[in-house]
């Protein structure tokens, strides 16, 4: 794609790769999408149920808070039930990090400088090494160290980067290198600038995020601008879209950002018009219904839904399945960019869903057959 359409080329920053459980992060690995549970971790059943919904939405990694011993006590059961690696969120108490590592967490989210004396940092690193844990250093504009705030006067990109480098040194002093770093801020300008500065200073994987971004709509826009800006510049190896919304919504938004930039492909990519008086059917309600009913599709498929023939045929030529509104409740369906047949309004939703499901099954079967051929012995 990049050779044919060079304006779509994104050259990713070269970072070294680490493993978070079974998932590679950094290097040439796909950019991972993660989220965080909001249930009480001590309630293992509720937490596992939420993790399952996030898995279904496509999450690669998931973080759970471990603020107390009841949480780390439940962590072992949660780790065993989860199909994706668990990141334990630790803030100040180093013993929670030790317990989480022993319970099977794939990664510890800590700031080494916040957990106490050098001896305690050494204990956490030993536990991480012994259990094969990675560490995510999580610098945040809202919780910078006092001496950095005094030095810089306020949170700023340079302060975030300096904090990250200080924490990195604490790990490197113990010969620990399986770490990734985030320098998050709620201010988009600050976060983007900090990540760009850190990207030049280190070779470790970077975890992207605009922290405290807001609700579903406002937070999505803010995150898309900040995270999208960095990804477009080739910066970022893993990401979380922080929203005041359910965790599975964070995952869906994360994949939409990656799909828009051509960095990941998963599920149905919908091209649809904003609708107008020319529409032959209710585009807004139709798209809402299709997005809800097609969330189970994981195979990459493109679907165009256009209300009239002004742009409909042109968009349909570029998608796997297309729908263009016509007169008298009769609408045109395109398959692989070619006019194929018509469908009536009352049958339209079920028909398009069945076409997408059939296309997904076809593509999955073709992929399985191709994989089987690769595994066949040479004649």
| Known binding-site residue numbers | 273, 276, 308, 315
Beta bridge partners of 19: 24
Locate tokens 């199909």: which residue?
Answer: 83
Give the start-end residues of each E strand in the chain. Answer: 18-20, 23-25, 32-36, 61-65, 86-89, 107-110, 134-140, 179-184, 207-208, 238-239, 268-272, 301-306, 321-324, 330-335, 338-344
Beta bridge partners of 239: 33, 208
Query: Residue 301 and residue 52: Cα distance in Å, rounded?
Result: 23
Cα distances (angstroms) measured from residue 51 to each of 90, 219, 251, 326: 19, 21, 11, 43
Exposure string over 330-340, b if 16+ CB within 10 A, otherwise e: ebbbbeebeee
Query: Residue 262 and residue 2: Cα distance in Å, rounded?
Result: 10
- Annotated binding residues for [4Fe-4S] cluster, written as ranges, equal 273, 276, 308, 315
Query: Residue 56 and residue 148: Cα distance in Å, rounded?
Result: 41
Rg (CA), the chain: 23
Cα distances (angstroms) measured from residue 125 to each of 105, 177, 179, 222, 225: 14, 10, 11, 35, 35
Instruction: Decide if 103 contacts 72 (C-beta within 8 A).
Output: yes
Strand 321-324 relative to strand 330-335, pairing? antiparallel
């Amino acid at each position: 794609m990049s050779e044919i359409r060079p304006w779509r080329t994104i050259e990713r920053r070269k970072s070294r790769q680490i493993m978070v459980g079974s998932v590679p992060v950094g290097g040439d690995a796909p950019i991972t999408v993660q989220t965080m549970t909001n249930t009480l971790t001590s309630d293992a059943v509720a937490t596992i149920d939420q993790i399952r919904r996030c898995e279904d939405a496509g999450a690669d990694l998931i973080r759970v808070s471990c603020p107390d011993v009841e949480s780390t006590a439940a962590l072992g059961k949660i780790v065993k039930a989860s199909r994706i690696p668990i990141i334990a969120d630790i803030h100040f108490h180093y013993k929670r990090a030790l317990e989480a590592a022993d319970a099977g967490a794939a990664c510890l989210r800590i700031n080494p400088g916040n957990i106490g004396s050098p001896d305690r940092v050494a204990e956490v690193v030993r536990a991480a090494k012994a259990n094969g844990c990675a560490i995510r250093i999580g610098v945040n504009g809202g919780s910078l160290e006092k001496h950095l705030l005094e030095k810089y006067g306020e949170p700023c990109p340079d302060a975030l980067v300096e904090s990250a480098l200080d924490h990195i040194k604490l790990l490197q002093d113990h010969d620990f290198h399986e770490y990734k770093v985030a320098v998050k801020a709620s201010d988009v300008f600050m976060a983007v600038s900090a990540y760009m500065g850190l990207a030049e200073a280190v070779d470790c994987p970077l975890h992207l995020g605009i922290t405290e971004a807001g609700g579903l709509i406002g937070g999505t826009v803010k995150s898309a601008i900040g995270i999208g800006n960095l990804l477009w510049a080739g910066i970022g190896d893993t990401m979380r879209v922080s929203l005041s919304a359910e965790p599975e919504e964070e995952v869906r938004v994360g994949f939409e950002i990656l799909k828009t930039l051509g960095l990941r492909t998963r599920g149905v990519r919908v091209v649809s018009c904003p609708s107008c008086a020319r529409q032959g059917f209710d585009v807004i309600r139709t798209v809402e219904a299709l997005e809800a009913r097609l969330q189970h599709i994981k195979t990459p498929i493109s679907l165009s839904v256009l209300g009239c023939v002004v742009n409909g045929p042109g968009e349909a030529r570029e998608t796997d399945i297309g729908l263009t509104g016509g007169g008298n409740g009769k609408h045109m369906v395109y398959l692989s960019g070619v006019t194929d047949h018509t469908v009536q309004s009352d049958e339209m939703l079920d028909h398009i869903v069945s076409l997408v499901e059939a296309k997904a099954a076809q593509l999955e079967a073709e992929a399985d057959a191709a994989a089987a051929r690769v595994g066949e012995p040479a004649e």
